[in-house]
Chains A and B, each alone.
Chain A
Amino acid sequence: MARVVGGIGASHAPSMEHIYDAGEEVRESDEWQPLFGPFKDVASWLEGLRPDRLVVVYNDHMDQFFLNAYPTFALGVSDEYPVADEGFGSRPFPPVPGDAKFAWHVARSLVADEFDITICQELEVDHGVISPLPMVDFSEGEGGWKIPIVPLAVNVILHPLPSPLRCWKLGQALRRAILSYEEDLSVVVVGTGGLSHQLTGPRFGQVTPDWDQEFMRLLAEEPESLTKYTYKQLIELGGTESVEVVNWLAMRGALPLDAKPLVQAYYAHRIMGYGLQTFEVAA
């Protein structure tokens, strides 16, 4: 049977793509080392753990889904996920490999658990997936992705959004979906987005490091307390676009309550509060 062997919470942002694509020298610069250094630690950790699959809870930014039909939860059930053109041409990455058979099982299990997801046989992934993913998985020398993914998209863009409690429960249902899969796969669950940022209005660029670090502490120590926050509170604490943190909450819901944080890093820079946190699950 499949197992959940770890979790990763990571910010996603176009800035991370620009800097990654600018090459090693920029990544290692004084300005960006506080972000990319910890990502290297996560890559090493993942290299040691060697998971068979990543389930990535993320949000799309109107690159796959649009307002004509916006899904609250959507699951990819494909063997590959091309990189979306977000309006500037696609980044030169090959499609991210998937695992349709496992993903269909996850679809069945989620629906059995009353999470009536939109099932996507075709899905292009945007920076919600591929801004953090190359930092932890992509092998530049061999030019390839190493670990097949199952993408699970959450609507954090068009209100009303699924509540933080609902996203936590989604993570718990995701855990059951993984544990009930017949193949002996080890799975790491990833949640991407946040932390604090505000891209509209007079508070454009506002970052709130105290709240971001408190969020990461709560996620590690008492994650259920985060399910009691309303979106109004989350927006006031971290900004309109910071509500992406519910993707982290879903990730955490898929882990045992006593999972321990391992790599923890935070870097408030320019217009983003960048967070990175991994969880180890005892065998």
Chain B
Amino acid sequence: MELTQDYLDRLKAVQPHDLPGDLDLFDEHTAMRGRRLNKAAYSLKDEHQRELFHRDEEAWMAQFGLTEEEQELMRKRDWIGLWRNGMSIYVMVKLSGVTNTALPEIGKQMRESGGATNG
């Protein structure tokens, strides 16, 4: 048989599954859900994008084709909502920088979040 047990074991192990509900992954589902949000927050690596964010946040947001819901999460600085909608912590850090939000504040919200219920 081509699909050996060894291969099947590796295929099963490569993608963590059945994690406890309070642990999460950045995987296919997160990446697909978060495409627009991640692109937007990633842009803040660039200082011109940060300037635009400060000058006109709506114009900055308009570049990324965000849904109305995603724009609302951005406006409200709803870190849990952004996370549940697929924003990676590594680009969230860039958004925290430009919004002057300390990581412990995001952490406080995370701890009270009850998990990634959209996951």
Question: A: which residues have CB within 8 A of B?
Answer: 14, 61-63, 66-67, 84-89, 157-161, 163, 198-205, 230-232, 235-236, 239-241, 271
Contact = CB atoms under 8 A, between A and B. Distances in A.
B82 to A, nearest CB: 11
B19 A235 contact: yes
Contact of B15 (A88, A159, A202): A159
Contacts of B46: 85
B91 to A, nearest CB: 6
Interface of B: 10, 13-20, 22-28, 31, 35, 38-39, 42, 44-47, 50, 83, 88-91, 93-95, 97-98, 103, 106-107, 110-116
B98 A232 contact: no
Contacts of A14: 93
A232 B44 CA distance: 32
A226 B86 CA distance: 30
A202 B90 contact: no
A235 B13 CA distance: 13
B116 A160 contact: no
* Most chain A CB within a 10 A radius of its CB, from B35, B46, B90, B107: B90
Contact of A67 (B17, B38, B45, B113): B38
Contact of A236 (B19, B47, B98): B19
Given A87-B45, A157-B88, A202 B114 contact: yes
A201 B27 contact: no
Residue of A199, A235, A241 with most partner-chain B CB within 10 A: A199
B14 to A, nearest CB: 5
A244 B97 CA distance: 23
Contacts of A202: 22, 110-115
